[in-house]
Amino acid sequence: MKQEYNITVYSENHIGLLTRIAIVFTRRKINIDSLTVSESAISGVYKFTIVIQSTPDLIVKIVRQIEKQIDVMKAFYHTNEEIIYQEIALYKVSTDALYENNTIEKVVRNAGARILEITREYTVIEKTGHKEETQNLFEELNKFKVMQFIRSGRVALTRDPIERLSEFLKERDALLASLE
């Protein structure tokens, strides 16, 4: 049975790696639901957070295949229960709609969102949360005609108190030192 998995890939910043990782999914006809790439807590190491729908057997195969990429240091997979995650969404609505109807202000407050910018023409609202939360706010605001909407990819941290990449790198460095 398919469920949502979060794949974390650690690498150095090499040109073309994103394409090679995407090909792993393309070959298996798996859609990527969310993709975020940024620097990690370790200097020079980048973190890919990839969200897909998969079966338990297939996720293991995918992670192994990703790890075979030359520039990949290590890859892990987690269920949603094993991570803490958020997304960010921005909404642009007409400022006139905001002033004409105080419902928008109530919707924003009830959603725990905040107003980032107000101009004569538009107001930009920001909401962080899970996809369902940001989508619900979109649906509420769209009653007043959302002019623009964008949602980021998922950012996530593991609930595990041990940073598994750090442990992996220590073990790798120890092995390399013993071979010298």
Distance (Å) of CA 100 to CA 73, 97, 103, 144: 54, 5, 9, 10
Mean pLDDT along residues 53-81 = 95
Question: Which pLDDT score, from 0 to 100, does residue 162 have?
Answer: 65
Mean pLDDT along residues 84-113 = 91
Cα–Cα distance measured from residue 155 to residue 152, given in angstroms and rounded to the nearest whole number:
9
Q: What is the pLDDT of residues 1-10, one digit of tens each?
A: 999 999 999 9
Q: What is the pLDDT of residues 124-176, one digit of tens each?
A: 999 999 999 999 999 999 999 999 999 999 999 998 866 676 676 677 666 76
Q: What are the structural domains, with CATH classification, of the chain?
A: 3-83+159-164 (3.30.70.260), 84-151 (3.30.70.1150)
Q: Give the rounded distance of the alpha carbon of 95 from its chain centre.
A: 30
Q: Record the pTM.
A: 0.85
What percent of the chain has pLDDT above 90? 74
Cα–Cα distance measured from residue 59 to residue 62, given in angstroms and rounded to the nearest whole number:
5
Paired strand residues for 152: none
Could you tell me the pLDDT band of residue 179, with boundaries at 50, 70 and 90? Answer: confident
Distance (Å) of CA 96 to CA 60, 103, 123, 143, 175: 52, 13, 9, 14, 65
